[in-house]
Each structure stands twice: as structure tokens, then as C-alpha cells.
Chain A
Amino acid sequence: MNDNAVFELPKQSYNGQIRAVTLGSEGKAVTVGGESCYPFHCFEGALPHAPRIAMEVYDTPPTDWPDAALAPFSDVLSDPLAWARKCITNYGAEMICLQLAGTDLNGADASAEQAAGIVKNVACGIDVPLIVWGTANHEKDTEVLRLVCQTCQDRKLIVGPVEEGDYKKIAAAAISYGHTIVASSSIDINLAKQLNILLSNLGVPDNQLVLDPTVSGIGYGIEYCYSVIERIRMAALTQQDEKLSCPIILNIAREAWKSKEAGPSDDIKLGEATKRGILLEAMAAWVLLMAGGDVAIMRHPNAVSLVRDMIGEMS
């Protein structure tokens, strides 16, 4: 063997790039996306904006959370604005995701006006980007998110989920008032692409669009979500599929925490109750960031800190 031979790392060649999308209004705006390589493959391409974490806040006090998830927020559970501020001040949240669980038809069924009031209150009280997430009920989300778009027209929100069944009404309102849209489809690259085409036909500008390919927790089909996200990234980066070249958002916290394994259990083999949910959340978020996520919506400060450290080490 020739002594002069130098090992060369085989490199993937890319021809596409993820669009950089700026979330929120000026000042504390956050730019995501923009990468020209697979997740954290900084040796192959550029990763101008490392993945970001949005911390979630609920419009109504959660009733089905394990104690571990409730503990850090026990003093702010019934005040979404205080909750959001705590995430920002105490835990360094760069973005907030306001989950409108209270508008659930099968839950409190809060009216669009109530919801829009809460959103407006939170939006005016914080300066980081605000993601507003509905209940994925087409009729209800249409009603709620349209009003939210109109009520908060002086802020640049990120609203979702916008699905094929309600995209026209919600997206029209969002573009009318300059908000960004979360295009949501159920774990299928074709559906994701088709929805993006529909949205762009409707007139949604490319830089006001992020993608939610649907996520699930560990043990609940995360590998399928991983594959779909990975495929979307391959299409965007190696096949120049412009319709799939948008940043991906992962609404993962609620999936991780609603699993049986994150909840209370007598089974000592499952490990410590205070750590289980945190680790499940952190691992799930990390797995999906490795697949190609750009924004992870997370809940527990410790899980956030674990993932934030990992992102720091990898990028």
C-alpha cells in the first residue's frame, strides 16, 4: 500500500438547499432553515441556522399531564402569558408555541373570540416569535385561526396546523395579515408536497411556510416519521424538489408526554418517574432533529436543555 495515500471522507453531493424562513417580527425574529446538507453534516455543506427550540404554553391548565411535566410551571399553569414569560426568562426560550387545546370541541370548546383574546394577550406580552397551534379540527380551526390572524395583525405569528381540509380559509387569512403557515399533512411525502403546491397556488409566499409532516413519540411509530422526514430532506437537498425545500417543524412534546411510558407507573423497570418523560421527550426531539427537523416544540426545561446542548455540540 502506498504510504502517501490519504483517507478521504466520502461526501454526499447536494444540489438543493432548504429555504431560510424568518419567524416572528423584527428584533427577536428567529431565522430557521437555510441548510445545504443533511442534518448536522456540516462537513458536507452549510448549516447557517442550527435547529431551534420553541417552548410550549397552553391556553388552559392541562389536566392530563404527568407530575414531572407540571412541576416547573405549577405557578403559571392558569396564566398563559406568565407561563410564556417564565419560559423566556427562566429557561431561555427563543420561541413560544401557544397550544390552543382549550378550543377542542371535545374539551372546553372555548370560542374563537376567547382564543383570539388569549393569543393577543400573549402576543403583545412577549417579543419572541409566537407559534399558535389549533386542534386539527377543520371547522373549529378555521373559525379560531382566522380570527387569530385578524386579531393579531400587528404581529407576525406562525399559525397551524393548516391541513388540506382547511387550507383555503386559514391560509387566505394568514397571507392577508402576513403570518407564517404551518402546512400539516399526515406522514406522507406526497401529501406534504401536494399541500405545499396547493398553498403556493393559493398565493402563500415560500418564505411564509414551514412544514409539519406529523410526528409521534418513541415507541409510537417515530421510525416512520423519521423515514418520511428523511425522505423529504433527500428530495429537497439531492433532487432539488423546491416544493419540499421548507423548514420542518416538530410538534413533539405532546406526543412524548402523552405516551403510557411517560405517565405514572408502578413498574420499577420503567425507571424514575421524574426523569422518564423528560428523557423520552429529549430523545424523541433529538431523533427527529437528526432526521431533518428545524424547529422542535418542547415542554420540559430539562429536556430543552439536554437537546439544546446536543444541538450546540453538533453544529
Chain B
Amino acid sequence: MSELIVNGAIRGARSIVERAEKEYSVVLSKWGAGQTVGFPNTAYYLPIVYAIFGLQVKSLGDIAQVLQHCRRLLPPIENAAGSAYGIPQALDAGMATLFAEEIIEALRYVTTPNLYTKTEDPTGGNLWLGAADDVILRRRGVEFVDGSAPGFATILGAAPDKETASAIAAELQQRNLYIFMCGQNHDISFSEQLNQAGVQVGWSSRLVPFGQDISSTVFAIGFAVRVAMSLGGIKPGDGPANMLYNKERIFAFAMPLGEVSDEWYANAAGAINFGFPIISDSNIPEILATGAGENDIVVANVPHDKIVSRALDVRGLKVNVTSIPIPVAYGPAYEGERIRGDDIYLECGGGRTQMVELCLSKRTDELEDGKVEVIGPDLSDVPAGTKLPMAIVVEVAGRQMQEDYEPILERQIHHLLNYAQGVMHLGQRDIGWLRISKKAVEKGFTLRHLGVILHAKLHQDFERIVDKLQVRIYTNAEDVNLMVAQAREVYAVRDPRIDGMTDESTDTYYSCTLCQSFAPNHVCIISPERAGLCGSYNWMDCKASHEINPNGPNQPVAKGSQLDTRLGQWQGVNDFVLKASRGNTNSFNSYSIITDPATACGCMECIAAIQPLCNGIMIVNRDFTGMTPCGMKFTTLASTIGGGSSTPGFIGHSKFNIAQRKFLSAEGGIKRVVWMPKMLKDEIRDRFNARAKEIGMPDLLERIADESIGITEEEVLPFLTQKEHPALTMEPLM
């Protein structure tokens, strides 16, 4: 922390504590130790003192021990060793400041009982409300807990003029924040400025004029600590828990406007204890984040027209998007809608023109949330039946956003656009295909609405990773071609990063217990080279899913020490599976079909089964309804191996998994595959051939039998022999 701030805060704290002591001795001598003190109608005494120490200050006499705490927390005037004070001392001084100010305010309720209105809104020309009582606390505090008010801004001092003040207030109100106003600057306060500008202040407009003195800052923090105690279940006296609750749950920040005095520094240091950052318009030293995951603490010199958005960025406030303002209906019901022939107003991609979709992660300060730009002709500029090229570029910023999530968000574009009535979408990446119907255009649909949909839905569905999002839609050939080129560069970096991941390259696998509703003992362990058996989740999906929903079915699993390299068994995985399977499975092997293979829930896309006669493995996919060489159809096989049991000789797996390097690697991998339905061969041909080439057998797929060769082992074996299938010469399976 900058020396200037530290020293300022400590000086300010000292002067406030001394003021409290002085005023205390005056009041004490006049009213006596037995005089009742406290804020009006509250069960939380002096709330900050109560929250941190559990001390119930009820009378003037009780204040003495609070002052002792203040003194204890204040660093001595001269540091004995001569070395400079640092952050810890400044933070302690900040706490001393808050306790001292609570005393000052409590004394004020004794000496000048009518200074504050003690109401929800200003009354009888008196602007200053003072401490919120417990009725206000409950009614307003609920909004902090349920998210309808994400937090509050504490404004110290005043804006340069009343116009600036009302502009800042309006901007904060739009974000549903409460605005707590304390102190003044050059004899004018922010509250008075709003009042002069004709803005209604009071709890009902969320613009709360607490007090004129800087010490009224404690009403803001006192409100926050009471929310933690009354609604967060934090026990009085548990200071650290209270501070953590406020840091993590209440999106609050302090906004000192105007010259920052020592007393303000002292209050700021107090606020920082609760994780509330300081956003200032004046030229004070900054304290910025020093590493990833950390937050800026003091941000200075912010122009007034940027100060609110900057504050929201620093505090990481999310946008809460509840509705999708588009002129057509929206929902999964329209996903399968087809738009054909004469109904088409605009068509993009699908081989007729070039279409590309790209999601990119950006820095928070590079984006303006909700901005949608259409560059090139829009629907109103072209006649029905037009074909245009198109590029959709979604830019996302967020604290939790990572490059690895780009493809996951990008993949959503397909179904999110499809949900709109009158919009049909197929494909992805640089083979997208979009049609917009005449009816949608008649209802007023424009290309900008595509961006509106993506902004709203990605915010809703990926709340935790998306902080800001903007969309650009290009419809002129020149820009689209540029974007295609850029997209292909991105793919060239992105694809190898994900495909190239190995099980060895990470210490964390993910669990999936989504299916435990019907297979209570089953747990999937998903590693980079072993996708989930349902085909819906690969390792990266699980990682993102965990980020989005930390309490959900995908939990990180520290794989721990490797117990068997060939079979694929790890201590950490075993420990996790034992617990997650409720004691049912104590170990399994990820890479084997014979030795303790993985369990299956029932959702597998494919089932592999050993073929003893052929010394190999057959694979059947769910879509194939015919008989297979193991004598069972898919449905019979599925009911045999599902339900969370491990069945040696059989495993459930996804289609994608077949061409992954670890697929049955304990038994020799895809070289063992002797039979697959033709439809499955066709579906996975490209990836399978690539993997076959990797192992030096580029024509392997042609040597694998299918239903046209036979549906019994006896029928298949001659074919394999004729094709010199590698399985026939491999070591015996059993």
C-alpha cells in the first residue's frame, strides 16, 4: 500500500479516535455512565462493534472498553524501529476509525436526539436519516440476499456540481444499487446536490442520505454487517466471517468524490477490511491487483462519466438479464423449426455464401456490455430472398472467463439462435448456416436481434463466467472474409490445444454424477482422453460446467498418484469414486475393458464387447437396432451392463471416445476393433482414420467388419482373416 495512503489513514484514524475520546469524556461527565446509548430500534447495539467483538454496548459506561480496543489497534505515532508502516497497520487503523465513529454517532444520539429523522425518507426539511433501524434493515436487506439489489455504493463528499451528482446517482440506480451518502466536501454534500437538482432522496429511491459528517460512514458499514448477522447467519463477534461475507456477497464499494483528507483515508481503510474497493475521482495513489484472481483496492483519477462503470468492473458486478427484448417468440419449442423456399427472407452460409461464428475472450475494459453492431446491410436494406455472407463475432470478458471456454460459448450460438421463432440455424464455426423467415422480418426482426439474443442468453446461462459481452455482425463480403481468416487462425491455435491434451498433462479430472438420479451408484470420471460415455461431456465441458455451477454434478477430482499406468488407475480417482458411488465401487480402470472396467449408467452412446473368437472387440452404437456378433442387440446389452455396475468384457463409451488415444489402450486400442455398424463407421470416419494413421494403419477402418459382412463371430472371422486384421495376431485377449 502506498506510504501516502497508509500514513494518511493512520493519521486520520488517530484524529478520529482522539475526537471520540474527547467527546466521550464530555458526554460522560454530563450524563453519567448509566446513560443508555445505541442506535434507534435495533437489536444490534453499535453494529460494527457488536459484529467484530460481540460487545453489547448499552450504556455510556460500556463505551470505555471500545475506546481501549481503538487505542490497541492504533499504531504508535512514531514507529520505534523507524521503519514505515504497512497495510496491516493501516487496516487496523481503519477498524479503529469505524469503532470510534460509531461512538461519535452514538454520543450524538444522546446529545442531539433530533439531529437525524430516524425515518425511511427525509421529513420536515431535514435531509439526514441517520442509522437504519431493524425494520428497514429487514425489508431492504432481503434485496441484498436475493440479488434484487446487488450491493451499495458509499459516496463520500460531493460531486463538482449537482448535474454530475444526479448523473452518477442515476447511473448507479439503473444498476439497482443502493447509494449511501455520507460526509461533505467544501460545505456541500452529494445528498444536498441531489436535493437541489430535484432528485428525490430516501430509502424508497435507494438514495440514502445518512449524514453530513464523515463519521456517518459507519451507518453504511453498520448496515452491511447487520445484513451479514441477520440474514447471513454470521454470529456477532465473528469478525473475520462477517468481513468475508461482505467481501463475497455484498457488491459494495466506496466512492470518495473530491479532495481526500486523512479522515477519508482512515474510513477507506476501514471499508477495505470488508472487501469494499475505493474508486476515487481525485489524484491519489492507486493500489491495484498484483496477480490473477486478486482485485484492485484503490482506483484513482477516474473521470465522472466513467466512474460508475469503472466501479462496477472493479467490484465485478454482473449484469442480471431477465428478458430478451426481441419481436418474435423465443424458446426451445422453436428449435426444430424449418424455414424453406418461399418463406426465406435471408439466407447466409450453408455453402451458398460464407458464414462464420467466432467467440473471443477480451479484457473487461475493452468491452461495452450489451453493445451490438451490425456492419453491412441489415434485413431492411435487402429484398426478400437475399443471400448474404455473415460473420457473428461474440466478444466476452469476465474474471472467470478463459480462452478454453471460447469454443463452449461459441457452440451455444447454434441452439440459442434456433430458439427464436423464424430463425433457423445449422452448423458452427466456418460452416454456419442461417435462415430468417419473412414472418420474422414482418414482425420487425432485424440482424441486431441476433446479437440481443446472444447477449441475453449467454449472460443468463453462463452467469458465472460472463461479465461483459458484445456482439458484432458483419454482412459485407470484405469484412466476413477477414473474419473467416481470423477465425481459422484461432482454430489453428485452439484445436490442437484441446485435442492435444493428454491425461498425463493434467492433475485434475472431473466427475459426472448427472445420472445418479437413476443409476445411484454410478460416477463417470472424465479425463482429457476419455470423454463421458453419453457423449455430452468432454473434459473441457466439465471444467466449464464446474465453473458455471460449482455445486453441480461435475466436480474436480485430484487424480493423485498413478497406481497402474497401463490400465489407468489413480489413487485420488479411486478415493473419489468410492465416496461418490456410496461405497459401491472402490476402484476401476479407465483404459481397460477386461480388468475392472469403468461402470456404466445407461446413457452410453456405444457399447464395446469382447469377441473371444476374433481376439478383438466389437462396438455397437445406440442408433443401430440390428443384431450384433455378440448375440445381443444394443438394448439388451445396455440393460446388461448399465445401472452402475462394472462388467468385465463390456464397457459403455461415447462415439468421440473411439478415436481418443486412451480408448481401450490397455488391450491395444483401436487395433482390437473388429466390428462396427456401417453407420457408426461413416459417422466417425474422419477422426478414426486420423487416429489409425497415427498408429501406422491408415486403412484400419476398411479391415473392420460391419453388418454387411455378418452378425455372428463365425461370419466375421473369415473377413478379418482375409483383410489380415491386426487383432488376429495380437496377444490373446483372455
Which residues on A are within 8 Å of B, measured CB to CB? Answer: 146, 150, 153, 168-169, 171-173, 175-177, 188-191, 194, 197-198, 201-203, 205, 231, 234-235, 239
Q: With the chains together, A172 CA to B249 CA distance in Å?
A: 13
Q: With the chains together, A197 CA to B551 CA distance in Å?
A: 7
Which residues on B are within 8 Å of A, measured CB to CB? Answer: 138-139, 141-143, 145-148, 230-233, 513-514, 516-517, 520, 551-553, 582-583
9 residue pairs A–B, Cβ–Cβ below 8 Å: A175-B233, A176-B141, A188-B517, A189-B517, A190-B514, A190-B553, A194-B551, A201-B551, A231-B520
- Residues of the A chain whose Cβ atoms lie less than 8 Å from the Cβ of B141: 176
- Residues of the A chain whose Cβ atoms lie less than 8 Å from the Cβ of B230: 176
- Residues of the B chain whose Cβ atoms lie less than 8 Å from the Cβ of A191: 517
- Residues of the A chain whose Cβ atoms lie less than 8 Å from the Cβ of B147: 168
Q: With the chains together, A203 CA to B227 CA distance in Å?
A: 11
**Are A203 and B513 in touch, CB under 8 angstroms?**
no
- Residues of the B chain whose Cβ atoms lie less than 8 Å from the Cβ of A189: 516-517, 520
How many contacts between A and B, using CB within 8 angstroms?
53
Q: B444 to nearest A CB, angstroms?
A: 26
Assess A176 versus B142: contact at CB under 8 Å? Given A189-B516, A190-B516, A235-B582.
yes
**Are B551 and A175 in touch, CB under 8 angstroms?**
no
Query: Interface centre among A190, A194, A197, by most B CB within 10 Å?
Result: A190
**Are A175 and B148 in touch, CB under 8 angstroms?**
no
**Are A150 and B231 in touch, CB under 8 angstroms?**
no
Q: A167 to nearest B CB, angstroms?
A: 9
Query: Interface centre among A169, A175, A191, by most B CB within 10 Å?
Result: A175
Residue from the list A198, A205, A239 in contact with B233, Cβ < 8 A: A205
Q: B416 to nearest A CB, angstroms?
A: 20
Q: With the chains together, A60 CA to B591 CA distance in Å?
A: 62
Q: With the chains together, A171 CA to B147 CA distance in Å?
A: 12
Q: DSSP class of A's interface residues: helix, strand, loop or mixed?
A: helix
Residue from the list B138, B520, B552, B582 in contact with A176, Cβ < 8 A: B138
Q: B322 to nearest A CB, angstroms?
A: 11
**Are A169 and B231 in touch, CB under 8 angstroms?**
no
Residue of B nearest to A174 (CB): B142
Residue of A nearest to B147 (CB): A168
**Are A176 and B231 in touch, CB under 8 angstroms?**
yes
Q: With the chains together, A189 CA to B519 CA distance in Å?
A: 11
- Residues of the A chain whose Cβ atoms lie less than 8 Å from the Cβ of B148: 169
Given contacts A173-B146, A201-B551, 11 further A-B contacts (CB under 8 A): A168-B146, A172-B143, A189-B520, A190-B553, A202-B145, A203-B231, A203-B232, A203-B233, A205-B233, A239-B582, A239-B583
Enumerate the 5 nearest inter-chain pairs by beta-carbon distance, A residue then B residue, closest first. A172-B146, A172-B145, A168-B146, A169-B146, A197-B551
- Residues of the B chain whose Cβ atoms lie less than 8 Å from the Cβ of A239: 582-583
**Are B513 and A176 in touch, CB under 8 angstroms?**
no
- Residues of the A chain whose Cβ atoms lie less than 8 Å from the Cβ of B231: 172, 175-176, 203
Q: With the chains together, A153 CA to B137 CA distance in Å?
A: 14
Residue from the list B139, B516, B517, B552 in contact with A150, Cβ < 8 A: B139
Q: With the chains together, A194 CA to B549 CA distance in Å?
A: 10
Q: B348 to nearest A CB, angstroms?
A: 35
**Are A176 and B516 in touch, CB under 8 angstroms?**
no
Residue of B nearest to A234 (CB): B582
Residue of A nearest to B137 (CB): A176
- Residues of the A chain whose Cβ atoms lie less than 8 Å from the Cβ of B553: 190
- Residues of the A chain whose Cβ atoms lie less than 8 Å from the Cβ of B138: 153, 176-177
Q: With the chains together, A239 CA to B143 CA distance in Å?
A: 36
Residue of A nearest to B551 (CB): A197
Q: With the chains together, A111 CA to B665 CA distance in Å?
A: 64
**Are B513 and A175 in touch, CB under 8 angstroms?**
no
Assess A198 versus B146: contact at CB under 8 Å? Given A203-B233, A239-B582.
no
